Amino acid sequence: MAFSRISKLDPPSRGIFRKAAVMLCSLLTSLFLLHCLADRCSTTTSPSPVKASSSRATGLFEDLRSLRTKRLAYEWTAGSELMGYTPPDIVASRKVSPRFAGKLSPLGEGRKKLPQALIIGVKKGGTRALLEFLRVHPDIRAVGAEPHFFDRNYENGLEWYRELMPKTLEGQITMEKTPSYFVTREAPARISAMSRDTKVIVVVRDPVTRAISDYTQTLSKKPDIPSFESLTFKNRTTGLIDTSWSAIQIGIYAKHLDNWLQYFPMKQILFVSGERLISDPAGELGRVQDFLGLKRIITDKHFYFNQTKGFPCLKKAEGSSKPHCLGKTKGRTHPNIDPEVVQRLRDFYRPFNMKFYQMTGRFFGWDD
């Protein structure tokens, strides 16, 4: 009886056969794709086991080195982001420290190149403002943070340096800014060794005002430092200026320029006025764009003057649709300095300024 019931059961439906066939095809397709990925779809010739093993070992080494480089970059630059601004594409990925956020090309496009142009100085001259303004240009890709490669990290090598750069397309310029390069004796030779065609930009400012601004920045971090007046002089009675103090030494522009001219012709060096960068940002940016061989895209329409901060801001920052000003660390109120000390500093800098005017062929008006 039981056998007769079994013999009367309906045969499996065609739907079940179809599903089984689809599942089998999917499984076979998956296995084929895995095979292709493992062998890199090499259906014509198969590399010898020794070559394949060597290739995979090399690839593994390169991957490990890349991961190590990215980890070092992230650890080196971890912390608060400059000016509270990070391009959104970098915020989303976080694969590399957001402080190195330049204007990246879409995923898979472009390649990382060593910079063709550098903002090399000077500290407290307006380098951050210049970099942020330049990043609006579609043909400029720039690292957000200061790599300090040619002064502090040179032993890491050019490949380490290249890894910090954003991807660029053909015709785009890679840039970075580290203001201490201008006063680092070894920097010109090292940059020239990378490329003799590198263009360098120096933002300069009244050396007296620059020194006070430099001191103000240090004071905000170390409130217990001596007064500006006591640091300025080796001997207040004789009026001998202490040129070993970095705040004073940086402003002797002619001395530092002499070092750079041993490796770069003047035609490859552009001097930007820090004062005019505030009073006429579009004008100074026009000169920079010309120097870099770029179309003048950044104009007056990109700026508005912020009365509270006392300097120009961008109507639309790179990677954002909102207005953008430099952070709270910019535009600090300077302490009151004894007018006699200020005058002695002006007298000290005057001959160096005059030589600098002659060397650059530009009058900056710091001695009026």
pLDDT tens digits, 75-129: 343 333 333 334 434 333 334 444 444 444 454 589 999 999 999 999 999 999 9
The neighbour count for residue 238, using CB atoms within 10 Å, is 8
The answer to the question of whether 365 is labelled as a binding residue is no
CB–CB of 136/186 below 8 Å? no
> What pLDDT is attached to residue 308?
76
> What pLDDT is attached to residue 87?
42
> What pLDDT is attached to residue 13?
58
The answer to the question of whether 230 is labelled as a binding residue is no
124 is catalytic: yes
The answer to the question of whether 123 is labelled as a binding residue is no
CB–CB of 160/71 below 8 Å? no
> What pLDDT is attached to residue 325?
85
- The distance from CA 271 to its chain's CA centroid, rounded to whole angstroms, is 19
Contacts of 352 (CB under 8 A, 6+ apart): 207, 251, 252, 253, 254, 255
pTM of the model: 0.70
Name the catalytic one among 103, 112, 123, 124: 124
pLDDT in tens, 346-355: 999 999 999 9
The answer to the question of whether 137 is labelled as a binding residue is no
The answer to the question of whether 128 is labelled as a binding residue is yes
* Class for the domain spanning 111-207+249-331: alpha beta
> What pLDDT is attached to residue 2?
42
Contacts of 263 (CB under 8 A, 6+ apart): 188, 189, 191, 192
The answer to the question of whether 125 is labelled as a binding residue is yes
CB–CB of 182/120 below 8 Å? yes
Which residue stretches of the chain have pLDDT < 50? 1-10, 40-58, 60-61, 63-105, 107
Can you read off the two tokens belonging to residue 209? 């005002």
Contacts of 310 (CB under 8 A, 6+ apart): 278, 331
The answer to the question of whether 209 is labelled as a binding residue is no
Percent of the chain scored above 90 by pLDDT? 60
Instruction: Point out which residues pair with 240 in neighbouring strands.
Output: 235
The answer to the question of whether 59 is labelled as a binding residue is no
The answer to the question of whether 68 is labelled as a binding residue is no
The domain locations on the chain are 111-207+249-331
CB–CB of 291/134 below 8 Å? no
pLDDT in tens, 194-227: 999 999 999 999 999 999 999 999 999 999 999 9
The answer to the question of whether 205 is labelled as a binding residue is yes
| Closest among 123, 154, 130, 355 to 257, alpha carbons compared | 355
Can you read off the two tokens belonging to residue 171? 């015709």
